[in-house]
Structure 1
Amino acid sequence: MPSSQHPGPPAGPRAASVAPAQLLEQLEQGMAGRLQPVLAETLRAACQELEARRRAEPALDQLADDLTSLSILSRYIGVSERRWRKWFARGFNGWPQPPRPMADDAYALVSDDELQSQLVGQPVIEALERRFSDPLDVIDKRLWSLAAQLGGQVRPRNPVAPRHVVEAFLHAFPANEVDARVRLGLLRHFERIAAACLTDAYAWCNVLLSEAGHSMVGTGDYALLMAGQPVSGTTGGKADLWAEHNALAPAAGSTWREQPGQKRAPPRRTPSDAVRGNALRERMRGLRPQPPAERRAMRLEEFLAVLSLLQGEPDATALAPGRCAQGVRTRLAEVAARLGIDPETAAPAPEQDDAVELVGRLFDDLAARHALAGGAVGRLSRLVLPYLRLALSDPYLFEAPQAPALEVLDRLVGLWDANPRISTVEIEQHELADGVADDIAEHYHGDEQVFARALEQLERALEPLRRRAAVAERRAGQAIEGRERLQAARAEADRRLAERLRAPMLDRVGEFLREQWRQALVQAWLRGGVQSQRFADLLALGDALVRIDADAAHARGHAVADALLALEAPLRACYVACGLDEGGAQALLAQLVAELANPDAPRAAQRFEPLLEGGLDPADRDPEEAVPAAVGQVVVRTLDDGAAQALRLAWRSPLSGDLLLVNGQGGRELLLGAREFVRMLEDGRLRLRAAEGPVEDALRRLEAAPG
């Protein structure tokens, strides 16, 4: 974009009156005054921590030793502050020229103390550099302009960078005077306290340089500034980072040619390939408020610097529900003003404002459509700024397959949603989500591995819970299915028995059918179902016995004798299968044969007690009845106290169509018939969550939002 469309912020009233050397001195004094109190605060925080630990663990001798060391350091805090001030000032001595050891002796040996300082301080330096990468980028580019005015011949180092701040702290508490364990503890507290202090300090530094007329310049611009040449597209000493002169012309005269057989590299994906994300951003452009046309568009590095500083503020995400995007715009304007970017003359670029609107509406939808407790709402709000930054840096964030960052957001909302924190598992899941959300809000400053690590942490913590819940679900489902199968088998046996007891018959025949034969039918159904050969053979046995009884009633002795001979083995097997030994089975079989041999034996209508409690017919259940839910889907119910509880549709009976709803531990909560389940959905006692997950569900609604 031409630089004329992106003029730098106007110079403040001091732009012409402050000499470069005087400005550098103001920068040193101001930063030192803001950062030096961190030493005393760090000592106080370390002492408070050790005092609390000693009260909890009074037997630990090392705590007393460490407290003694800290007490001595506190007594001589003035000495440490003078050391810190002296080392911090070294970064400004001779600036913008490199320090003498760096310029004259690149191969100087490093002492053991310096080496230890580098080793213990490097993780803190890297953490602070990641956190403040965007504000530091802006400060660096403003310092290049100042360095050129001071006669710098090489690109200058940043004298207020985290590395210099941490090294000054380590020199204030040298390794030969401070125990290594105490020093590490101090460094841990220093990282936390300095992070909060640097947020304001870097904002002040940016404003100071901006008001002095130092805008951001690129690497190519710095070479021109050193040569004393004006940079095209600048006004009042301000250069546009993305001016045309910073771009490389295409190499039209290249001699490269594709060789025969050489495989082409796969085409690189470009932002234009992000079809869904671009469509969402375009839709948001039609929904969001449009800034006045006369305002310039903020550069990306300006916007990211403002975003980083806002992310570091404790109340950064106190956003009104349902108006997240507007809240972000308001806070961004406030922080931009502190950086010297006048909101009256500069506004986020269209693509930046599209991302604000898209992320804001996404988080509004997630908060509105899920049952989140107050703490969860606050933590979800803290994630708005990290995800806004990610939406700006990753054009494929909303494309399929789902990005790790959106997977993390899905899991977090799922863990918070309708979690009443009653059971131990519910409390663990809520605290897990809280911790992961805090880590992302605290540590994401452009490194997308933060989301990969968060996803891994969630998976590692949730996998054992899922395994235990799956076992409990399976057992609950198996218990219900076993009971239903037994009921179905008994109902089928009762029905078959009733069909064969319609005509009067011998009591002995009726007794056999009611007892041994019906029990054998139940066993055969449970083992193989009504289609099994065993079940068919038993039905044939019952029918044959009823025919024998009818033949005996009509004195057809020859037919009765032949049929009994044929049925002797099946009858004996049926008796034995029901628990009788061979002797008992033979005795009952003999009694049955004796009665059938007497045509004058009395016959009567037979009655029986159904095995299935409540009658012959099972409950009114239809396994084929449709329900608007799938196994695995989350269902939220309202408890008696008004709280919401997330349940899971774990199983549906193939026999009755009943639906089993379980809690987070896999324990049974509700067993509902299909019709009752639908009624509870209709009257609001149950609410379905989208099967595709919270984030995808919200994005689909945004895609369908009226323009």
Structure 2
Amino acid sequence: MSTPPPATDPSAPQTLATATLPRRVRRVLEHLLNTASDELERHLTAMLAEFEQQLFRLADHARNPGVESTHLQTLRTLRLNRSDLVPRFMVGLEASLAALGRGPAQVAGTAGADTAAGTFHHLRLVDDAELDEDAVLRDIAVRQESRASLTLHLLSQRFGVLAGTPAFDAERIPLGPQSLCRILREAAQSLQVTLEARLLLYRIFERRVMAHYPQMLDMLNASVAAEGILPSLTYVPIRVRPSPQSQAEAAAEAAVPGARPRRPPRRGARRGGAQGEAQRTHTAWLGEADAETAGMDERAAYELLQQLLSGRRELIGKLRPDKRRAPREQLDTAEVVDALGRMQGTMSPSGPRNLLDIKQALLAQVRQQRGRGSSFSREDSDTFELLGMLYGQIEREVRSDTPAVGLLRRLQLPLLRVALQDRAFFVQAQHPARQLLNAVAESGARWLDEDDLDPQLLAPLQQAVKHVVEHFDDDPAVFEASNRELQTQLHTLARKAEMAERRHVEAARGKEKLEIAKREAADTIAELVGEQPLPKFVRALLNQAWADVLTLTLLRQGADSAEWRQQLDATRRIVATCGRKTGPADPGLANHIEAALAQVGYHTEEAAAIARRLTSALDEDEDDPASRTELTMKLKARARLGQDTASRHKPAPAPRNAAEQAHYDQLRVMPYGTWIEFVTNQQGDVVRRRLSWYSPITDNALFVNQRGHRVGEQSLDSVARMLARGQARIVTAERGRLVDRAWQATLHALRSFAGHGDKDGPGEGTEATP
């Protein structure tokens, strides 16, 4: 008698080993599982590490002890259970692949059967938390399906062959975005964290794991094709071929970090994530290189510039009288560069006035040497024109009374030699020569105030320019070395500014914690007093003197401490004592009140007088008016705990209109460190201020200058109104650096000459729209 096979738990996840699969299908799925597991495990581990860092940061920046305690508890729970998530995820991954062994009919009808069963036999109310999770994960899946639609379609066809069914749709395809999101949701239950923490985890999952999903799909398709499953399958959708002009324009604008794409948004695209990179705010310090570099086609970008310059030449040619000249001999680029090198050695220390002077002097020098006139090649002439226009735009952004003017003039010849030999100077945002040019220009930017520039920056700038002028001999390493040394100095100054900024932020956070404690103390007194018929003077003492005691207790010990519970009990006894008409005073309570008031700075006599009134049942007419008046005058002259004169009476802000409310909502989610330009006069001059920190609770916003020094605090409400009136502008990444602003203006001017200028104009992107 044979032994029956062991019973299996029907609720246990199915594995490839136990699934009913043909041998070849099982082998292909095992290869897919190994490929996906290797990729996902590495990114999931990084996701958990960032999740832990985010929780710690949230706890560190918590606005009250209760929220901080919640985040710390979540962090402790995560550290206990984080080792369970990746194995659970891998089990779910294998189960999704093993589901192909259910047979064609079952695979095709699983979703419909489950839906039908849930409709008729499992009716229940759905919690809002489940809806939140479903919405977040669905959005993640939809975005990834949109990003990798082509490769996902190919994989669905191949899975259809493996399962013996038509191609899988997006909801049912194993290893698809929706499948991975469902697996993550089930695996995240093992962490035993709150819904808020899980939603944070899902956002990190999209950023750290799903960002690599298209590359993983390519690997999966290649793995299946290598096993002979539709190896020749390709799919090329019919698309409207963009014109070379539009391709080149997009590539040229990619030279600006964070530049907004020129093409309109896709029809039906979700607006929730539309800002994303296109509206990334500028947070870098003065002269610092942008950490993010957009990919670009440098050749297409430079071809665009040539086309725009050609249109400019044609327009200028039509405006000039027709003067036919005999063709002149063209100079080779090498000859031009050599001549510029000789000119650089004989140039005055202050440098040439402008690039037109350099061009005319060079042609005159060649004419004198050869006895006849020569001309530049079209490419070299384009380089002269482009660099001249760029310098012209930079000069508009630089104050004429700053050392930067002289430094920029000295850099003209070396930059011209670089641009003639390396066209990437115009289209690479991270080009060393372009970064050096930006750092020098920003040291004299018009948005700087008199005290914004650190005096220690001038010497490194002068040294960097001097090194380039004296040592550059067509070797790009000279620019790289100078820029690297300068960036090191800028990084040091930026860290110094950040340290100064951090001290001001910590002070602002301390003020916020004090304000939160004051509000909680006032709410506590109001709740305990309720409708008790207390004398007006007693109410005034409770709301002022005793409120300071409760505030200090909250700040020092917190709401969960024994000291806070003791003060709550004392408050109840005060209300009970002063609420009854007759009864003896409580000497123990009076001593406690005196000691508590002494801790917040009350003198012994004042504390004793306040304690007597808070522990007696005297009516208003029974109290001594003279002593009460004297005590009232002392309290009025006394500053409250943590209160300055300016903040005693803040009028309620007027209602905001639609534009002001939109800017206000935008500010409340603005990244810390965003730069905002404020208009300072009727001439339109602006000054940049860094939004270092703000409190959604107190509405206060802290601003510092380029050196990290505090320049003032404003309310988010007032900043929102200034944004709505055009008196302030949020600086976006595409126009954060001075060279990028000048480059955008140069492109706009060229498009205007070519007859297809931008609708937005050179000011496009100055403000991040809500």
* TM-score bracket for the superposition, by shorter chain length: 0.3 to 0.5
The structure whose Rg is larger is 1
TM-score by length of 2: 0.43
